[in-house]
Chains A and B, each alone.
Chain A
Amino acid sequence: GQNIDQPTEMTATEGAIVQINCTYQTSGFNGLFWYQQHAGEAPTFLSYNVLDGLEEKGRFSSFLSRSKGYSYLLLKELQMKDSASYLCALLVDKLIFGTGTRLQVFP
């Protein structure tokens, strides 16, 4: 099976940079995806990686290392509206989600 681990909670300050890690154990997958979910709302797609390396999308970047079983989501210039849960998901024949990291951004 696929075990996906993320920290349960993180806090950060407005304007700062935060890195949310995701580690996994799996024999193979097609891609690694990141979703954002604000409290009481549906998840929204943020970013994905198929190959090793960094994918940048504005203030958000995602990194993947298949050999290390490791990914992270990097959020720059944090804003209050970035307070949300961030879900890491592996794509095998379907998406397998981690339990998410709840990020709180303080002024």
Chain B
Amino acid sequence: DVKVTQSSRYLVKRTGEKVFLECVQDMDHENMFWYRQDPGLGLRLIYFSYDVKMKEKGDIPEGYSVSREKKERFSLILESASTNQTSMYLCASSFVGGGRGEQYFGPGTRLTVT
């Protein structure tokens, strides 16, 4: 059974804190993605990675960074959390090539920044 796990389901942080969100997949997928999901705005891509130590900016990378030191793990970092980063964060993974549209999502982390 394929699996993408995220480190926390719910997280509450204060403005200015550094926040780490971890994602692990056990499917040997090359691609990994970080999205945020907000009501009325849908899923928006923050960053993605197609290989270890590789990263590409998505549509809304400002205020975020990522790290991929191992194939199965992709971390999202909020350098200095702000209230407008309160959101649902979803990690996903996929194979490369034609399979990259079939993405497997983790359960999500609902982050609240106060």
Contacts and interface: CB of A to CB of B under 8 A. Distances in A.
Contacts of A87: 42-43
Nearest to B110: A40
Interface residues of B, number: 20
Q: Chain A interface mostly helix, strand, loop or mixed?
A: strand
Contacts, number: 45
B42 A95 contact: no
Contacts of A91: 100-101
Interface stretch (A41-49, A52-60, A61-69, A76-84): A41-49
B74 interface: no
Interface string B85-99: 000001000000010
B107 A95 contact: no
Interface of B: 33, 40-45, 48, 58, 90, 98, 100-108
